A = this chain, B = another copy of it.
Amino acid sequence: MKLVESVPNFSEGRREKVVQAIVDEAKKYDGVWVLDWSMDPDHNRSVVTMIGKPEVIVDALFDMAKKASEIIDLRHHRGEHPRMGAVDVIPFIPVMDMSMDEAVELSKKLGKRIGEELKIPVYLYEKSATKPDRENLANIRKGEFEGFFEKIKDPEWKPDFGPEEVHPTAGVVAVGAREYLIAYNVNLATDNLSIAKKIAKAVRHISGGFRYVKAIGLELKEKGMVQVSMNLTNYKKSPIFRVFETIKREATRYGVNVVESEIIGMVPFQAVIDTFMWYLQVNEFDISRVIEYKILDIFSKEIDEK
């Protein structure tokens, strides 16, 4: 069964009823499953994690975007997290039996509908981006809702879909396909923050490290340790085991050991298997050789036949 994940972000993190109404739009659909949703009152933002069949999830996300544009008014929105729309960003992540190209197609299909039917300007980002400077979401979001009324007039920032005018209450939205993002931390047996910072610098892309690693050094006061805190934005190309081994090696340079590492949130099965294969030096192994995956495959087919 083809399955795609989406993690739409909405600019409402305080009024539960509002977020619930948006989530309910997704729950109407057979073939879409809401895994989780959470609100952050400081950011005044909510995040919904859902998976679904490609043909259905686009409809569900459209209905959620429509609902959000009706009940969230950006003119009255305050919160710590930068934002530019009632529905702020809608990523598509291939999960099962799907290529990145297919996820890109979905993002364009949804973007087109949001632009044309809801009259909200849409920017395609990451793998769906139509220009290099739209790959990075932060670039698109610069200026936020308030600044977009000017920004959109710049021909460089003509939207990919929809009107060339910011929606008065719902702003603009970014839609795109991307790889699964893994939040990953490594804790060191020292309270010397400068060591974590040096190691973060060694592994992160921006300062010469791995292409798909973002990293900072942090203090964990209660634990008396420091942490290299990371986002791995493409676990296939900058894999978790290589990043871990590099950090371990860098730490010994300072006479420090790695205490533990932490996976935050969810992780794709393939990332676990890649790590298993690398350490055990297994050359041939396929995800379908894992019994639970075989069961998932059988159950997918049964659900498809319903």
- Name A residues whose Cβ lies closer than 8 Å to a Cβ of B: 3, 5, 33, 35, 51, 95-96, 180, 240-241, 244, 258-263, 265-269, 272-273, 275-276, 279-285, 289-296, 298-300, 302-303, 306
A296 and B294 form a contact (CB under 8 A): no
Partner of A294, one of B35, B272, B281, B291: B35
* Chain B residues within 8 Å of A282, by CB: 260-263
Q: What would 18 more interface pairs be, CB under 8 Å, given A266-B290, A266-B294?
A: A95-B291, A95-B292, A96-B295, A180-B291, A260-B281, A260-B283, A261-B280, A262-B284, A267-B289, A267-B291, A269-B292, A269-B293, A272-B273, A275-B279, A295-B296, A296-B296, A299-B300, A299-B303
B295 and A281 form a contact (CB under 8 A): no
* Chain B residues within 8 Å of A303, by CB: 299, 302-303
A293 and B291 form a contact (CB under 8 A): no
Partner of A285, one of B259, B263, B279: B263
A267 and B295 form a contact (CB under 8 A): no
B281 and A269 form a contact (CB under 8 A): no
CA distance A284 to B280 in the complex (A): 21
State the 8 A-B residue pairs at the shortest beta-carbon distance, nearest first.
A299-B299, A269-B292, A279-B279, A296-B296, A275-B276, A272-B276, A260-B281, A266-B291
Could you list 23 A-B pairs, sorted by A, with CB under 8 Å? A3-B295, A96-B292, A96-B295, A241-B280, A258-B281, A260-B283, A262-B282, A262-B284, A263-B282, A263-B285, A265-B289, A266-B290, A267-B289, A267-B291, A268-B292, A272-B276, A275-B276, A275-B280, A299-B299, A299-B300, A299-B303, A303-B303, A306-B306
CA distance A20 to B295 in the complex (A): 22
* Chain B residues within 8 Å of A259, by CB: 281
CA distance A104 to B89 in the complex (A): 51
Min distance, Cβ A51 to any Cβ of chain B, angstroms = 6
A240 and B280 form a contact (CB under 8 A): yes
* Chain B residues within 8 Å of A180, by CB: 291
CA distance A128 to B9 in the complex (A): 52
Question: Which B residue's beta carbon lies closest to that of A283?
Answer: B260
* Chain B residues within 8 Å of A279, by CB: 241, 244, 275, 279
Known: A259-B281, A281-B260, A282-B263. A291 touches B241 (CB 8 A): no
CA distance A95 to B293 in the complex (A): 12
